[in-house]
Amino acid sequence: MSQSIRIKSPATIANLVCGFDILGLALEEPYDLMTLEKTDGTGLEIIHTDEYKLPLKPEDNVAGAALLAFLDEYGQAPGLKLTIDKRIKPGSGLGSSAASAAGAVFAANELLGRPFNNNDLIRFAMFGEKVASGVKHADNITPCLIGGVTLIRAIHPLDVVSLDAPELFITVVHPQIEVRTSDARQILRKEVPLQLAIKQWGNIAGLVAGLMKGDYELIGRSLEDVIIEPVRSILIPGFDDVKKQCKEAGALGGGISGSGPSIFMLSKDLKTAEAVEAEMKNIYARIGIEHKTYVTKLNAKGMTIIED
C-alpha cells in the first residue's frame, strides 16, 4: 500500500440557482492540491502551504475535523500528515471548505485501501462543513467527491443522486468582497409563500429534466430563483448587471454560486463562456471592485489522483 497520495480537490457550485440546499456541480478549476502521508508517529498533523492563515489544530481545521470523523470510525489509525495548498479562496462561494473536507477524507480512504463508500465519506466530510459554517450541508461535498451534477434528495438519511448532464462551460466571477455563509443564511425568510414555492419547484423539476435530456433551452429557462436570489443578491454589488449582460452575451443563465459572492453562468460552448467572462470583467472594472474570473467546464469526475 502506498505511503502517500496527492490529489486535486475541485471547486463546486452549490444551489444552481433554483436548487437551494439540494443541487450542486463540480468545476474543472479552480482546485485545491492536497497531499496525505503516513508518518511513523501517531496523530494528525496539518500543514497549509497557502496564504490563508487557516487554523492548523485538527479539530478547528475543516479538513482536520472531517479526517477526525473518518479516523474515529476507522479505528486503528496510523499517523498522518496532511499538506494543503488551498487555491480555492475561502469565502468565495466556490466550495472551498467542501474541497478541504471532501479532499481529506477521499485521500484518506484511498490511502487506507478504501474502507468506506461515498455516502460514508460525505457523512465524514459534513463534520468539516460544520466547522466552516455551523451547518452540516452536503451540497458542495457531494459534487466535489463524485463529480458532475448531484442532487441531495434528502439528508436524513442521506440520499444522493447523480444527474446526467450535457457538456457545460462555466464562467465564474469572484468579486473580492466578503459574504459570510452564516450571514447569507440569516437574511433568508423562514417562511415562503406557497405560490413562490410552487414556482421554485417547477423550475427545479425543469432544471433536472433539462440536464437529463441535454435540453440547453430548458436548462436556461429553469435557471430562475424566486426565493433565495432576490434576498441574497442584494449583498452582491453588480449582480443584476452581471446576470442581464451575461445572458445577452449568450449565457444560458446562472446566478449566485453557493451563498456568494461569486456569480456563475452556464454556456453551451467555450466561445460564449469567454464572451461572458468579458462582460463580467467589464462590469466589475466599471464598479471598481477587484475580481477574479474563471472559464472552466463541468467536471464529470470530481476528485483527481495525481500520479507521480
By annotation, the residues acting in catalysis are 129, 181
Q: Which helix (H) or strand (E) holds 266?
A: strand 263-267
161 binds a copy of itself (CB under 8 A): yes
Q: Taking CB under 8 A as the rule, does residue 22 contact a copy of itself?
A: yes
Q: Does 208 bind a copy of itself (CB under 8 A)?
A: yes
Residue bearing cell 434576498: 231
Q: How far, rounded to the nearest angstrom, does the alpha carbon of residue 183 sit from its chain's CA centroid?
A: 18
Cα→Cα distances 122→4, 24, 125, 228, Å:
22, 14, 5, 25
CA atoms 141, 131, 18, 241: torsion sign: negative
Using CB under 8 A, which of 77, 209, 278, 300 touches a copy of itself? 209
Q: Between 129 and 277, whose beta carbon lies closer to a copy of itself?
A: 129
CA atoms within 13 A of residue 108's CA, in its CB half-sphere: 37
Minimum distance between the CB of residue 269 and a copy of itself, rounded to whole angstroms? 24
Task: Give how many residues touch a copy of itself by CB under 8 A.
Answer: 40
**Binding flag, residue 231, a copy of itself (CB under 8 A):** no
All cell numbers assigned to 265: 453562468
Residue 200 binds to a copy of itself (criterion: CB under 8 A): yes
136 binds a copy of itself (CB under 8 A): no
Shortest separation between residue 151's beta carbon and a copy of itself, angstroms: 5
CB nearer to a copy of itself: pick between 92 and 203 = 203
Q: How far apart are the first and last CA of the chain?
A: 15
> Whose Cβ is closer to a copy of itself: residue 29's or residue 215's?
215
The edge-to-edge listing of strands for the beta sheet with 263-267 is 253-256, 263-267, 169-175, 291-297
- Contacting positions for a copy of itself (CB under 8 A): 18-23, 151-154, 159, 161, 163, 188-195, 197-206, 208-210, 212-213, 218, 221-222, 227
